[in-house]
Copies of this chain bind each other. A is one copy, B any other.
């Protein structure tokens, strides 16, 4: 039988200057792919370098976690950035991380939009197109890490860019395949056992059970854990252990 693999990703490097957030060391030890903040919502050039050094040393996949320019709002506030500026801002952030990676002997493997940009590009073909064109104009070999069934996935596929679809380990799903908003019950899944069971279901059936019981298709190549959840690293570790117990290896998904 062929060995089955999956990727585990999370956001790291989301401090700024003297400020830190999340357990980057804990996550770096368990993930296969890391989404590194590029300075617009978090992540200054020094933090970027330290996290890239660790990711290269660990053989992890590296993604440019591009965002709207909003340190105050951590990139979580929607901003009416015209698509032409989303294109420009994506190139800028991606290029900055590429240089950090080159200096560290590594490279950027993929792009994953962050926060409000992720949500906007989930549904807006215009925003998704701006991100995908920016990626392709800089390096056509980059993959796009994006939600299963999103505008991003469709736009990338149409452009010839590999869309790596992801599901969330620690978040509940709505029947339409979107995440349960954080303000609603069922949004967060904090129990490692429950998370691991759900992940095995996703891998076996390619589906997830939404909060209303609906079975939703979720064909994913990567699993994401929110790095700012308490116990994120422990949750990721539990899920990784469960996967490996069932013969599923964890490794970077690679480039496009």
- Whether A94 sits at the interface, judged by CB under 8 Å, is yes
Bound complex: CA of A15 vs CA of B21, how far in Å?
11
Contacts A92-B45, A92-B96, A98-B95; is A73 near B103 (CB within 8 Å)?
no
Per-position binary interface string of chain A over residues 115-149, scored 1 when its CB falls under 8 Å from any chain B CB and 0 otherwise: 01000000000000000001001110000000000
Q: Is the CB of B85 within 8 A of A138?
A: no
- Name the residue on B nearest A50 (C-beta): B88
Bound complex: CA of A138 vs CA of B106, how far in Å?
11
Q: Is the CB of A92 within 8 A of B84?
A: no
Per-position binary interface string of chain A over residues 204-244, scored 1 when its CB falls under 8 Å from any chain B CB and 0 otherwise: 00000000000000000000000010000000000000000
Bound complex: CA of A89 vs CA of B84, how far in Å?
26
In this complex, how many residues of chain A approach chain B with their Cβ under 8 Å: the count is 46
Residues of A within 8 A of B (CB): 15-21, 39, 44-46, 48-49, 69-74, 77-81, 84-85, 88-89, 91-100, 102-103, 116, 134, 137-139, 228
Q: Is the CB of B138 within 8 A of A99?
A: yes
Q: Is the CB of A103 within 8 A of B16?
A: no
